[in-house]
Amino acid sequence: MSSFNGKNILVVGGSSGIGEAVVSQLLREDASVWLWSRRERKDLVEQGVTCQSVDVTTDFDTESFSLPEILHGVVYAPGTINLAPFRMLKLDTFLQDYQVNVLGAVRVLKGVEERLFAAQGASVVLFSTVAVRRGMQFHTSIAAAKGAVEGLTISLAAEWAGRKVRVNAVAPSLTDTPLASRLLGNEKKAEAAAQRHPLGRVGTPDELGRATCFLLHGDTSWITGQVLGVDGGLGALSGF
C-alpha cells in the first residue's frame, strides 16, 4: 500500500483514543493532517498537524476554519459510552448520544462536502459499534445512535458515489481508550472484558487506526457503503 503523501485528511475528535491513533498513522504515512477537537494538542502542532478547536455538538461555520480547498479524506471519531439498563437511561442521554455520534457527523460532512467532491476520489470513515448488530444488554442508547450512523454511512455512500466519494464505517468492540477506562479500570474488569471476545482480548487504538486508514486509502477505492467489524470476533462468532 502506498503512502498518503500529498493527501489532505481531516480527523475530527483526534486528540485521544482511536482518533489520535489515526492521526499518528497518517503522519507516519506522510499525510497532511487537520485536526478538529475540543482539546488542544501542542505536541501534534509541533509534528505539523493543523489543530483547530471545534465543538461538533453546536452549529459552526466551516468557512471560519483553515482548511484546504481539497480534502481527500475525513475521519469522524467522536463517541460516547453511556451504558445502563433502559429503565435508568434518561431521554437526555439518548439525545446526547445522537447529538455527538450522528448530528456531529452531519454538521462536519455538510460543512466540507464541496472539498470532498473536489478531490474526485475522497473517502469518509465514520464509527459504529459491534453492539448495533450483536444485541448487548445496557447498550440501547449508544446502539440506537450508532445504528443511525450505519444508516447515514450506507445512504450517503449511495448519494455520493457519483461524486467519487466513498463512505464507510468501522464497528469496533471494546477498545483500550480513555473513553473506555471505567470499563477496564481494574484487572478483574479487564480480564472479564477480554474473555467476552473470541480472540481473548480487547482491541487497541492502533489496530482501529490501521483499519481506519485502510478504508481511507486510495488502494481501497472499490470499497464503499460498508461497515467493517474490528471486534475480536465478537460480532460474528459464537460458542466462546
Provide the CA 37 distance to its chain's centre, in angstroms. 13
Residue 39 pLDDT: 84
Interval 128-169: pLDDT, tens: 999 999 999 999 999 999 999 999 999 999 999 999 999 999
Rounded mean pLDDT, 40-51: 93
- Average pLDDT for residues 189-213, to the nearest whole number? 94
Q: In what order do the strands lie in the sheet with 227-230?
A: 50-53, 32-37, 8-12, 73-76, 122-127, 165-172, 227-230
**pLDDT-derived band at 183, boundaries 50, 70, 90:** confident
d(CA 227, CA 154): 9
The pLDDT score that the predictor gives to residue 240 is 67
107 by DSSP, 3-state: which? helix
Model pLDDT, residue 125: 98
Q: Are residues 140 and 89 in contact, defined by beta-carbon separation less than 8 angstroms? A: yes
Q: In which band, very low, low, confident or very high, does the pLDDT at 106 lie, cut at 50, 70 and 90?
A: very high
pLDDT for 1 equals 58
Domains of the chain (ranges; CATH) run 8-227 (3.40.50.720)
> Rounded mean pLDDT of the chain?
95
pLDDT, tens digit (0-9, with 9 covering 90-100), for 47-72: 999 999 999 999 999 988 999 999 99
Burial 152-180 (b: 16+ CB within 10 A, else e): bbbebbeebeeeebbbbbbbbbbbbbeeb
